[in-house]
Structure 1
Amino acid sequence: MNRWRLLRLGMGVLMVTLLLLALDRLFPLPSTPRYSPIVLAADGSVLHAFLNPTQKWRMKTELTEITPALQQAIINKEDRYFRYHFGVNPVAIVQAAGRNLFRTGRTTGASTITMQVARLLEPKERTFGNKLKEMLRAVQLEVHYSKAEILQLYLNLVPYGGNIEGVKSAALLYFQQPPDYLSLAQTVTLAIIPNQPRVLVLGKNNALILAERNRWLRQFQSQRLFPDQDIEDAINEPLEVQRHAAPTLAPHLARRLVTQYPGQPIIRSTLRRSPQAKAEDLTRNYVRRLRELGISQAAVLVLNNRTRAVEAYVGSADFGDAASAGQVDGVRAVRSPGSTLKPFLYALAVDKGIVTPKLKLPDVPTNFSGFRPENFDKSCAGEVTVERALTYSLNIPAVRVLAEVGVPAFTDKLRAAGFRSVAKVAPRLGLSTILGGCGATLEELTGLYAALADGGRYAPPSLVLNQGPKPTKDKSPATNTSLTSPAAAFLITDILAQRTRPDLPMGYQNSRHLPKIAWKTGTSYGRRDAWSIGYNQDYTIGVWVGNFNGQGSPALTGADVASPLLFDLFNALAYNSPNRWAVPPATLDFRLVCAETGLVPGEHCPNQLIDYYLPGTSSARRCEHQKEALVSADGAVAYCRACVPATGFRRQLFPNLLPEVLAFREAQGLPSSRLPPHNPTCRLVRADDGAGTALAITSPLDHAEYVLDRHDKQQMLLSCAAGSEVRQVYWYVNDRFLRAAAATERVFFRPPSGTVKISCADDHGRNVDIQLQVAEL
């Protein structure tokens, strides 16, 4: 019999359990509250807060922010037996029913904290039926959540008047502190307001709130809830409070992160509050001084080289400046990078053994298969060292180096460094890439320079801390990608740290406030973008200045406009950083090179200097900047080995310049010495024993199309680049002789229509042909 009773009891319990589970499924708990997204700094302070979708300030209070003082104040005031009941307090219900029935004492509803959470999750009119539903929901909440989580929900939902809900929102908007930084007096103040949020309005009824606060503090003292001294200090603390605006630092990054992590109430960024505030203030004040020059915007990114954490992110000078499109994020805007990619190109050339710092490169007008770059100042120097070409940001030597490195090899490295716009159009990019002919963002360029600061190791900039996996739409390249060798990165850093250079802003030549950094400037075509990016051992800072509408300005250059802000940022953010600097890696060594060419000294190199090089990688080509020739005693003719007389000749050294360099020097009227004409009585084929220099037509362009006006007497220029031994050249048009001319003479003629073949032969038997199309309109 007892067995049947136990069985029936067990079946009853099972049926009740199944019924409760079914009811739980049929009447699920309300969805969790929709919080105001907030973006935190690296130290946990709030950088930026947004209204939630219902236009309320409801910032999520984390469990760690609920201090013991806050817990004790809330529980003792609202629900002393919160930790012991199952959502409903039967004793409190009986007591409340008695008071309400016999109308003795204050009328109450016996609501527990859990019941208040149920009501706040589902606001309803206060009726007996709704009170019963609250009780049921309270029990359901106790089943699903722990006591700590229920208290957290309560503190996130309690009203504080207007559109402010939750302890954290009230703490930030009224006291400008998170809940765990509040004093006891401030904590108790926030504990008493939710019961009367329309009466106890902070900033309006402070005197009333102060009296109510102190009354509760005395009550807590009588309950021995807090030490007497803490109570006395809290009572004596004045209440001078008003509503403040929500934090709005880093608005561009905040919007970016909220978009990337939808539904996340709290996003922990890598930004540091102090550097961010300083960077915003410096940028805003600096651009204000530039407005009269037609410049309205700037963007700044500060990167920690060791962690790759972004510590300051300024998307524009003023987010609220609608007239200048202040809401555009200049850190992510794709712009022309100007000359800012040159350091990376030279680093790759170092790794390929193509260049060393003292190597001399031609800096003369050059035609690269139809592309004729010009230097920024429209002038040429003839020949320059690699370090001078980089510090003076010369365009022609950079294009020449890119032609040797190869555009695909260069763009592949940029793609590995996260250059997304380059990745999209890489097959269509050409030699103009190094002069800003591609797109890049401030974020991409700053990350690239951080790699140079870290020995060539690239890692993508980090924006968040422990936020979980990044969204698929924001994929970044793999970390720890080696873009250049440590040796190449050091050499480029050593060059960029030189202070004797034309892009040093006015007034900084003898300034004590010039930071110890390596930096590079850039200016895009049409002076639409000004860049300055610099780094030391600790930080890399990128600066862009310009207009978001693309409008140029005569004053918009990297040196004059972007670098002063860069220097101000380094002085403000890293002035007291250790004065450490990069040291040469063990893979670098020194060697003597010829001062005239930067190559390994040859037979005729009396002037030598020391240069860095990479053993086993750097070119070991010997210098031949001077060529020995056999000439007559009067220097009128030159002899080959076959026709040299027994006596009456001498050996003489002649400059062995590239034809284009020689032609440039002669065109500029600079001293130059050509090899005398070959002995006219020599009957043998002359090829200078294989030492002759190739002949090249520099004008017109091969495979180019020219359109001439049939009614105008337009003529076409013929010019060539020949070796120093060449005295005369012979021009042919469509295989018909045109005329003879000196090697440096400019010849003009009127070409026929259609396909035109132009040939040039020199007095040493060399010949070159080109073809072009000519049309007459």
Structure 2
Amino acid sequence: MKTWAAWWRGRGPWLRRGLPGLVLLLAGAALADRLFPLPPAPQYSPLVTAADGSALHAFLNPTQKWRMKTELAEITPALQRAIIYKEDRYFRYHFGVNPVAIVQAAGRNLFGRGRTTGASTITMQVARLLEPKERTFGNKMLEMLRAVQLEAHYSKAEILQLYLNLVPYGSNIEGVKSAALLYFQQPPDYLSLAQTVALAVIPNQPRVLVLGRNNAQILAKRNHWLRQMQAAHLFPNQDIEDALAEPLDARRHGAPALAPHLARRLVSQFPGQAIIRSTLRRGPQAKAEDLTLNYVRRLRELGITQAAVLVVNNHTRAVEAYVGSANFRDAATQGQVDGVRAVRSPGSTLKPLLYGLAFDRGLATPKLKLPDVPTNFNGFRPENFDKNCQGEVTVERALVYSLNIPAVRVLAEMGVPALTDKLRQAGFRTVARAAPRLGLSTILGGCGATLEELTGLYVALANGGRYGALRLASPPRPPSPAERGETTGSRTESSFSPLSAGEGGRGGEVSLLSPAAAFLVNETLAQRTRPDLPLGYENGLHLPRIAWKTGTSYGRRDAWSLGYNRDYTIGVWVGNFDGQGSPALTGADVATPLLFDLFNALAYNSPNTWATPPASLDFRLVCAESGLVPGEHCPNQILDYYLPGVSSARRCAHQQEVLVSADGALSYCRACVPARGYRRQLFPNPLPEVLAFRAAQGLPAPRLPPHNPACRLVRGPDDGAAPPLAITSPLPNAEYLLNRGEKQQLLLSCAAGPEVRRVFWYVNDRFVQAAGATERVFFQPLPGPVKVSCADDHGRNVDVQLLVAEQ
């Protein structure tokens, strides 16, 4: 056996002489590679796919061609074998140029024997497709050099992928994937063997063999090649026989066009990316589009022309259906506007968050009674949707019935920044920008929000108060060198397996509400006995088991309905993109029926019991009259949820014990009560505004007997014996503009405790009139600053300042 040293002694001189030449050759090749870089990567047609990879929406590339990128995973073994057998049987073994084929082709061309051919390999064809040139001998040599250069940089798999992405199929269709989708409506990896071979035979004559027009010729060529492949044992005999028997039923179809609004949004977000994988699911997307289109058609006679829908998976926060408008192609109704991202007035849809925050701050529990009476909040006088008031309502009723006055009262107590800060954390961009200027009207829709923002908020409610950004697309995978058109200088082999694309995680979460508060909101919104239940759903047969909330903007311009269960949250907006209102446009009447249809179609089998109370929640007995912890005079008690250590422990005082004379004509305080001849009696103790409302409505409102006139004890307004006195009209610090030609008057009214019988009105410290506590008094003011004062029969006094001007 020769040793290494002996081998080197025998061949060393020859190697030493050849090594410099080899080095020079490699250096020259590297220099040529740098001086003549590979052409740029082809420009693909942007393609938006569903989460499973199926095509949703395709666009023409910048050169107005359908050139959809075929991924490595879509190049099936059958497609590989068919293309390589037909085009370049030695593809896997040569270095870009096949010398044997060149010699054979030269012989045929010189001596005229057989078919004239150029002996182009697949790699050479890729070079020609990347840089189209006139077919001359010189250009053929350039193709060979480019082919060798391609082989030096890319793997065989990447070269075959480039070829399949560039081969022509007539008209403006290029690439196997474009042909498969436009002619067979299937991606390449879903084609049958017969369809695969049919696509393999067309590129040699793309102008002659046009699917849908020359199917008979293509069928003959397909069967010819199938028989050759059968003779070469390329596929099992049975597969070949089945393929031969399969008819060729192909014609030109339109490009995939689902989810047009999201597709354009993602293409804009990921410019230059050939394939964008969205989170949508093809089935729910198609169903949501059909339901929305058909539903809006029925609303046209009501002057309602558009709707938008968003369907979100609560577990992953992935958007599974995205409908920006009822009909993207309807220019008359501005169908290209994306209603998912349009900023609109949210109406009452923010109230669940408000009450959830009130639960977390200990300001409310579900059974707590709130005043629902006409109220002036520093110049802001909200009204309920139906213009009526109920006196006092529980928090859960205020939410289910979407009452405006109690909601404004809770926001006034909590503070507007507490709400806007949470909305900012929940991604409400318009609210975040306008937060310093927002006031109490925010909770009634006096701000801007999008369907995407509102749906994300309700996803948080379904997830126990935890908010996370919605997911629209999976993060793109890094492109291969061939896809980038890079010249890495190193050749890498890769198989025809799919390239992995990482899925986005849940991302950072923000706690908007505690799980306990979110559960209380969910329990309330899941109630089925409610006024916003659409007509026809009373029997519950088609009523999905969900929690939902409706909303209607001022002027009936926007109708909202947002619902959720354990698995899905669905947001619906209905209206007109031009802002035109409609008398029929309310969340309950026109948005909720579509919401229910969507839930019944997409999540019909969702579990019924999807919300369970967290351990941080408990029960306690409360007074049925006030919802507060029972006091000394609370015989009627009910159970209510509360947050231990958080919820207020204020005791109920809805009744007060008063010492009255035996005939009930006088009341006594502790200082003037006689030694005998008196008794104890319970009197209602509502807030002054509630008492005034009851009196104005003609409802029973028992008042305390007048206080003992012989009592010499001076009682101040803050002795705690009675509720305070308040002027409800005119408004403090307000400016009134009166018509000089008319004798216009201003209303004087107040809210007083039950013990007050008479009040005394003064204007600029001049007596005007004595009146009953609930009586309405009018006076004609003079222009300029005006001071209005009111005193009651218990010695309390209050005044307000205002400005009167004439025009």
Question: In 2 relative to 1, CA 573–477 (structure 1 residues): closer, same or farther, beyond 3 Å?
Answer: closer
Secondary structure at the counterpart of residue 163 of structure 2: helix
- Mapped contact 1:460–1:476 kept (Cα < 8 A): no
**Which residue pairs with 1:153 in the alignment?**
162
Question: Which stretch of the first structure deviates more once superposed, 402-411 or 579-588?
Answer: 579-588
> Deviation of residue 5 (structure 1)?
6.7
Q: CA offset at residue 95 of structure 1?
A: 0.7
2:788 corresponds to: 758
**Does the aligned pair in 2 maintain the 1:284–1:317 contact within 8 Å?**
yes
Alpha-carbon separation, structure 2, partners of 1:65 and 1:372: 64
Q: Name the counterpart of 2:737.
A: 707
> Which has the larger displacement, 559-568 or 199-208?
199-208
Establish whether residue 173 from structure 1 lines up as the match of residue 203 from structure 2: no
CA distance in 2, matches of 1:773, 1:690: 33
Say whether the 8 Å CA contact 2:566–2:606 is kept in structure 1: no
2:775 partner amino acid: E
- AA matched with 1:88: V
Q: Where do residues 462-501 of structure 1 align in structure 2 (5 Å cutoff)?
A: 462-467=471-476, 479-501=508-530
1:669 matched to 2:678: no
- Among 347, 365, 373, the alignment partner of 2:374 is 365
2:457–2:467 CA contact under 8 A, matched in 1 = yes
1:375-524 aligned at under 5 Å gives the runs 375-467=384-476, 479-524=508-553
| Cα distance change on mapping 1:418 and 1:468 into 2, 3 Å | farther
Percent sequence identity over aligned pairs: 80
Secondary structure of 1:154's partner?
A: helix
Question: Whole-Å Cα distance in 1 between the matches of residues 609 and 528 of structure 2?
Answer: 17
- Match of 1:756, as an amino acid? V
Q: Distance in 2 between matches of 1:443 and 1:456?
A: 17
1:587 pairs with 2:616? yes
Q: For residues 163 and 120 of structure 1, what CA distance do their matches in structure 2 show? A: 14
Structure 1 residue matching 2:638: 3-state secondary structure: strand
SS in 2 for 1:552: coil
Name 1:198's counterpart in structure 2.
Answer: 207
User: What is the rounded CA distance, in whole Å, between the counterparts of 2:603 and 2:332 in structure 1?
Assistant: 33
Q: Does 1:654 align with 2:683?
A: yes
Query: Does residue 1:91 correspond to 2:100, yes or no?
Result: yes
More off after superposition, 485-494 vs 726-735: 726-735
Shift of residue 11, structure 1, vs aligned partner = 2.7
Residue of structure 2 aligned with 1:266, choices 265, 275, 285: 275
**Is 1:693 the equivalent of 2:723?**
yes
Other structure's SS at 2:396 match: helix
Aligned to 1:344: 353
Q: In structure 2, what is the Cα distance between the partners aligned to 1:599 and 1:568?
A: 40
1:537 equivalent among 557, 563, 566: 566
Shift of the alpha carbon at 1:14?
2.2
Shift of 1:158: 0.2
Is the 1:61–1:167 contact (alpha carbons within 8 Å) kept by the matching residues of 2? yes
State the AA in 2 paired with 1:743.
Answer: A
1:20 is displaced (CA, Å) by 1.6
Mapped to 1, the partners of 2:608 and 2:385 lie a distance apart of 34
Answer yes or no: is the 8 Å Cα contact 2:316–2:506 preserved in 1. no
Say whether residues 1:560 and 2:574 are aligned partners: no
- Residue 189 of structure 1 corresponds to 198
Which of 76, 79, 86 is residue 67 of structure 1 equivalent to?
76
Matching residue's letter, 1:768: V
Amino acid corresponding to residue 305 of structure 2 in structure 1: S
- 1:195 is paired with a residue whose SS is coil
The one-letter amino acid of 2:743's match is: K
Question: Using the alignment, how far apart are the partners of 1:681 and 1:576 within structure 2?
Answer: 74
What amino acid does structure 2 have at the position aligned with 1:211? Answer: A
Question: Which residue of 2 is the match for residue 769 of structure 1?
Answer: 799
Measured in 2, the distance between the counterparts of 1:233 and 1:569 equals: 42
| Counterpart in the other structure of 1:354 | 363
1:122 match: 131
1:650 CA drift (Å): 1.2
Aligned: 1:12 with 2:41: no
Once superposed, what is the RMSD of the aligned Cα atoms? Answer: 1.5
| Residue of structure 2 in register with 1:472 after alignment | none
Q: Distance in 2 between matches of 1:17 and 1:710?
A: 101
Query: Is the partner of 2:591 in helix, strand or coil?
Result: helix
Change over 3 Å in CA distance of 1:756–1:476 after alignment to 2: farther
Separation (CA, whole Å) in 1 of partners of 2:88 and 2:669: 112
Pick one of 340, 347, 350 that aligns with 1:331: 340
* Distance across 2 between alignment mates of 1:716 and 1:579: 56
Q: How many residues align structurally?
A: 772
- Counterparts of 1:289-328 in structure 2 under 5 Å? 289-328=298-337
Query: What is the TM-score with the length of structure 2 in the denominator?
Result: 0.94
Matches of 2:721 and 2:122 in 1, distance apart?
Answer: 97
Partner of 2:5: none
User: Which residue number in structure 1 is paired with residue 760 of structure 2?
Assistant: 730
In the other structure, the counterpart of 1:113 is 122
Greater Cα shift, 10-19 or 47-56: 10-19
Unaligned ranges ≥5, structure 1: 470-474
Query: Is the contact made by 1:418 and 1:477 (CA closer than 8 Å) also made in structure 2?
Result: no
Distance 1:3 1:258 in 2: 61
Q: Choose which of 564, 576, 594 in structure 2 pairs with 1:547.
A: 576
Q: CA deviation at 1:331?
A: 0.4
Is it true that 1:31 corresponds to 2:40 in the alignment?
yes
1:633-654 Cα offsets, whole Å, 9 max, x none, are 1211111111111122111111
SS in 2 for 1:508: coil
1:478 deviation in Å? 6.0
- Aligned residues of 1:252 and 1:329 also touching (Cα < 8 A): yes
Q: Which amino acid aligns with 1:729?
A: V
Counterpart in the other structure of 1:614: 643
Aligned-partner Cα distance in 2 for 1:227–1:738? 108
Match of 1:635 in 2: 664
Distance in 1 (CA, whole Å) between partners of 2:277 and 2:675 is 88
Contact 1:387/1:495 (<8 A) preserved:
yes
Superimposed CA distance per residue, residues 73-120 of structure 1 (whole angstroms, 9 cap, x where no aligned partner): 101100011111111111111111111111111000000000000000
Does the aligned pair in 2 maintain the 1:416–1:477 contact within 8 Å?
no
Q: Distance in 1 between matches of 2:630 and 2:505?
A: 46
Structure 1 residue 737 displacement after superposition: 2.3
**CA–CA distance in 2 between the matches of 1:446 and 1:493?**
15
Given residue 802 of structure 2, which amino acid in structure 1 is its aligned partner? L
Contact 2:317 2:506 (C-alpha < 8 Å) held by counterparts: no
- Range moving further from structure 2, 677-686 or 587-596: 677-686
Question: Alpha-carbon deviations, 1:156-215, whole Å to 9, x = none?
Answer: 000011111000001111111111111111111111100011111111111111111111
Are 2:565 and 2:606, in contact at CA under 8 Å, matched by a contact in 1?
Answer: no
1:274, distance to aligned residue in structure 2 (A): 0.5
Q: Shift of residue 16 of structure 1?
A: 2.1
Read off the aligned partner of 2:47 and give its amino acid letter.
I
Residue 30 (structure 2) aligns with: 21
Unaligned residue ranges in structure 2 (runs of 5+): 1-8, 479-503
* Structure having greater relative contact order (Cα 8 Å, sep ≥ 6): 2
**Distance of 2:477 and 2:220 partners within structure 1:** 47
Cα offset for 1:691?
Answer: 2.0
SS in 2 for 1:194: coil
What does residue 746 of structure 2 align with?
716
2:285 is the counterpart of 1:276: yes
Deviations 1:698-754 (A, max 9, x none): 001111111112221001111111111111112222222222221111111111211
1:339·1:393 contact (CA, 8 Å) conserved in 2? Answer: yes
